Structure 1
């Protein structure tokens, strides 16, 4: 079912009253492929002896748990879900010798490790674990879910989903991709030769070398530019990122899925392509005139998306008071 909401409707919803309970946060750690993963577990204040449905919440590329994942995890914990955010290997507080390196396959594996960690927690119903992916991690989340039946339900907010065709459209055609791959390959060669990483700004308003040049959120104090986030990236990631195909997971994904997006946000063509190839239960909500970065922290889009995500997971995982293993 396709729904379209205007920004005015979303704003009105965000200003409405809320009866949600407050949440609390517990610092946690678990292992993924021999490295320590550090996370924040958001727990509803009304947590009781009955096991709860739980969610792994992941954010955009090159980000840490305190950015957009924290915003959505708190929203969902306030609605009664246990929600886990974490730093992927090589990012934030987590282990990993190679830092600030966007590695899709490693991030998929870390999501699976996070799901396994949740399944072992006594507060959590191990057969009611879902995944919420935001932006680039949507591709990692659906890839993990397509091969891991422990993820019972999936929701995506502002999903960045690409394949070879969408990548070519997005990054300036074959020539644009070749330039990025050349930068990445040269950086990778230097790393293999010296063992030392090279870093560029992840985001900047002035430095044209930045991976994200002249973008909001990451360059704004109080939004994405926070002390916990290191504004650097290893450009050797380019080939792995450009050849990662998230859309291929659609036909192998059988769990129920919700997608929340906007035509004004990033690569909607990839989202449409992915959604059209899904064969399992699916639902989509498209908001009017909401940018990619609005979805990260602006009150109206975040609340509207969170309300939709809550409804999806309640329908597919059950409510807090329901029986579960």
Structure 2
């Protein structure tokens, strides 16, 4: 683990052509979300297009989403990187839980906030979801027609992964066994009055761990991406966290994003690539799947020379107009 003296640490350098301001806003569940608003300097009086960004799953806005926001602000957008409910500086108790419903709502709440800012054109708002928040971003865009364009990067379908396991190999017997374990844990949590958490998931990765786990640790547990508020760096999800994702498919209505455009970006060598490919196949209308050569899942978290920011900027400039 990397020791840090301040929780204001960011894992990237803010551009001198961009300003960053802490903001808060509430979702429809009353949870106060914390975000960083990135604004290009010297924009004048023109109302600009805006993009709300969140993810990866288990990360905070000082990590990958903030890096994306900074880069896209450099390219002419007002951007909002935000911590999802129950994580980072956002409110919600107990801590370190996720919900396909609430985390989908978080994106629409971000659109609410952006759309009432005087320097933003509310008819030109898009969203980007990174890793697990790619799935939630697509889920938000289906019913929220205010979202004019949606992009995902190194996407996970958290619900599918939780319900079916990697590459859909989890059997019905394994799924039932997992539910029974969660049920037993709920009895314990009810008796104790607080949820239980596992050990810090990436703290002690064994040498024989799958390569993608090693790649996660190389981001979250080193100077490259460590942040003390990131549960992937410094904590874990609750032991009962997966239950609602296991029982709530989130991409059932992905076709309803059409005719609005979708850009799906994945690494050629990412273990998660199949999530992006399935989402692309299931989507209708204007859609594009961009495979980044030789990239693994975490390369698209922070490697500025690998992440296709110019492509993202072009996509949103063409579609937020």
Q: Which residue of 1 aligns with 2:241?
A: 237
Give 1:173's match in structure 2, choosing from 161, 170, 173.
170
Matched positions, count: 295
Q: CA deviation at 1:218?
A: 4.6
Question: Distance in 2 between the 1:164 and 1:199 partners?
Answer: 22
Question: Distance in 2 between the 1:213 and 1:287 partners?
Answer: 20
Which segment drifts farther, 185-194 or 47-56? 185-194
Q: CA deviation at 1:241?
A: 2.2
Counterparts in 2 of 1:77-96, with a 5 A limit?
77-96=73-92
Counterparts in 2 of 1:179-258, with a 5 A limit?
179-206=177-204, 214=214, 215-230=216-231, 231-232=234-235, 233-254=237-258, 255-258=260-263
CA RMSD of aligned residues (A): 2.4
Over residues 239-292 of structure 1, what are the superposed CA-to-partner deviations in whole Å (9 max), with x where a residue is unaligned?
222333233232221221111112311332222222112112111211122111
Inter-CA distance 284–244: structure 2 relative to 1 (3 Å threshold):
same
Inter-CA distance 106–276: structure 2 relative to 1 (3 Å threshold):
same
Equivalent pair of 2:56/2:132 in contact (CA under 8 Å): yes
State the structure with bigger RCO (CA 8 A, min sep 6), 1 or 2: 1
Structure 1-normalised TM-score? Answer: 0.83
Give 2:18's match in structure 1, choosing from 8, 20, 23.
23
Give 1:132's match in structure 2, choosing from 128, 135, 144.
128
Q: Which residue of 1 aligns with 2:10?
A: none
Equivalent pair of 1:199/1:234 in contact (CA under 8 Å): yes
Q: CA deviation at 1:72?
A: 0.4
Q: Which residue of 2 aligns with 1:57?
A: 53
Q: CA deviation at 1:229?
A: 2.1
Contiguous gaps of at least 5 residues in structure 2 = 1-14
Q: CA deviation at 1:205?
A: 4.5
Q: Which residue of 1 aligns with 2:306?
A: 301
Question: Distance in 2 between the 1:283 and 1:21 partners?
Answer: 32
Q: Which residue of 2 aligns with 1:156?
A: 152
Q: Which residue of 1 aligns with 2:289?
A: 284
Give 1:264's match in structure 2, choosing from 251, 269, 272.
269
Structure 2-normalised TM-score? Answer: 0.84
Equivalent pair of 1:205/1:219 in contact (CA under 8 Å): no
Inter-CA distance 150–182: structure 2 relative to 1 (3 Å threshold):
same
Over residues 204-245 of structure 1, what are the superposed CA-to-partner deviations in whole Å (9 max), with x where a residue is unaligned?
24268x9x9543345432223223324222121112223332
Equivalent pair of 2:154/2:297 in contact (CA under 8 Å): yes
Question: Distance in 2 between the 1:181 and 1:137 partners?
Answer: 24
Question: Distance in 1 between the 2:175 and 2:252 partners?
Answer: 20
Equivalent pair of 1:162/1:270 in contact (CA under 8 Å): no
Inter-CA distance 139–101: structure 2 relative to 1 (3 Å threshold):
same
